[in-house]
Amino acid sequence: MRRTKILATVGPGSIRLGTLEQMVRAGANAFRINFSHGSDNEHAAYLKRVRSVGRARGRQVAILGDVQGPKIRLGIIQSGSVRLTPGQRWILDSEVNRPGNATRVGAQVPRISQAARVGDPVILGDGLVDLAVEEVHPRQLSTRVVHGGVVSEHAGIYFPRAHLRTSVLSAKDRHDIAVGVEHGMDFLGLSFVRDRHDVRLARRVLDAHPGGSAVGLVAKIERAEALDHLEEILEVADGIMVARGDLGIEVPLERLALEQKRMIRAAHRAGRFSIVATQMLMSMVHAPRPTRAEATDVANAVLDGADAVMLSEETAIGDFPAEAVGWLDRIARATEPAIVSAAFRDDPMPPADRSVAERAVARAAVDLAEGVGARAIVAPTHSGRTARRIAALRSRIPILALSQRPETLRHLALTWGVVGRPAPETKGGLVELRRAAYRVAESEFRTPGPVVLTAGFPVEGRPTNLVTLVEPVGDPDPRVVSSQPRRDQRGTSRV
């Protein structure tokens, strides 16, 4: 069983029903819809199709709707792109509707004259083209090309020394959120987060829509400013995305790997999930297998303890979307046995978020399961909290989360090591729960061994406060269980 989850982006290269089914079979646990591209109708169709594929496969597949955010971009260019050479003069002005050329281009920059000072750097696109500001005028910046290259229209613009305070949600973002909530997205990917206030604003916008309160919030860390406020962002977000594309432009490239490790560890300490994204298998946009460097990059994200790894262009526009998912699956499975669980169990957890009792129950479940070689830890859960607490300990024992709430199961699709399944109907009581838990675990995991069950005692619905070992008696069919628990010489309750 693979523990690290796979998040794949849906796009023109993967929207066919057959392709989506192949990606799920290859191991995709969740899908990302990029609201930066496409129309409302396309977004709604993507959401409906992904949901239908999940139902057909009998799986709760999660959907993350990723809004564009306040990214600053160039306007249109006459021929679609322009080549800039070192030493060339290029003007950025506010005439965004006027096609650009080799001498000037419109830029969607609020208060452009305040965006930079003389001598400040300006970075374009993926960071391959650098400009330096030479003159500042009321409606334009005159720059000189430092490192040249091809620049496409609508490319991103970065002002590393500027602090442009714009709303994290544009009018388009708010509209896209409404579309996503209406059609059942499970998570909102919030772009260009700076601090906790941005996350709280997005939470208020979500909560204003019917059903929006059930949508989780993923804060995309792609600004250097966000790194300075990482802990406070983790207090209010459900998870973070290590968005290495834009972040790799704002922070020194030689520090990007260290920042990735710091973010994943901070998310773990805060009890939040983490997603590593951007160019995981970029060569597979046009190639059927990854490069050695890409395979190593994915393996390092797995060893870092990321809950999920994400594919972008590889599945959105690539020629081999299912193969890309398959390679992530293969690399993660090969790497996960080398994860050092002790490194995660020794992480201090903030007492405000995790009570002593909850941590003790999770630790007891893992210790018991590993001690007896259990086939699974079964965690009935309403909100998913119990399953997430157990998953944080990074045990190799599979975690089977049972819930009657489909939204809870879909939220757990991005949590490391958790398999979510609908809770079976029971008549109530611990004996019935134990019987049901054993049956589900037996059908899900073919390996032998007992089952460790967490539960609320004495009645269902109480906070999780019980850990119990469920073993079959010596019946020919272990699913045939007695109606009353009995105890062996060790004091272990059997059914």
What residues are labeled active site?
32, 73, 220, 278
8-state DSSP, 375: S
Cβ neighbours for 360, distance < 8 A, ≥ 6 positions apart:
none
Question: Using CA atoms, how far apart are residues 441 and 419, in angstroms rounded to an integer?
Answer: 10
Residue pair 297/260 in contact by the 8 Å Cβ criterion: no
Helix (H) or strand (E) holding 277, with range, is: strand 273-277
Q: Of 416, 342, 340, 420, give the one whose Cα is nearest residue 380.
A: 420
The tokens for 262 are 């710091």
Question: Using CA atoms, how far apart are residues 26 and 322, in angstroms rounded to an integer?
Answer: 6
User: If DSSP codes are grouped into helix, strand and coil, which group holds residue 222?
Assistant: coil
Q: How far is CA 477 from CA 345, 362, 378, 474, in A?
A: 37, 30, 20, 8
H helix runs in 152-220, sequence order: 171-182, 196-207
Q: Dihedral sign, CA of 247, 248, 250, 256?
A: positive
Question: Using CA atoms, how far apart are residues 218 and 237, in angstroms rounded to an integer?
Answer: 6
Name 104's bridge partners: 91
Q: Of 387, 388, 422, give the one whose Cα is nearest residue 403.
A: 422
Burial of 83 (0-12, 13-18, 19+ CB in 10 A): exposed
User: If DSSP codes are grouped into helix, strand and coil, which group holds residue 274?
Assistant: strand
Q: Of 409, 407, 415, give the one whose Cα is nearest residue 214.
A: 407
Question: Using CA atoms, how far apart are residues 441 and 469, in angstroms rounded to an integer?
Answer: 13
Q: Of 251, 221, 222, give the one whose Cα is nearest residue 234.
A: 221
Q: Of 15, 2, 73, give the one whose Cα is nearest residue 47.
A: 15
| DSSP, residue by residue, 300-355 | HHHHHT-SEEEESHHHHT-S-HHHHHHHHHHHHHHHGGG--HHHHHTS---TTTS-
Query: Cα(first)–Cα(last) distance of the chain, in Å?
Result: 27
Q: With left for phi above 0 and alpha for psi between -120 and 50, is residue 74 left, alpha or beta?
A: beta
User: If DSSP codes are grouped into helix, strand and coil, which group holds residue 246?
Assistant: helix
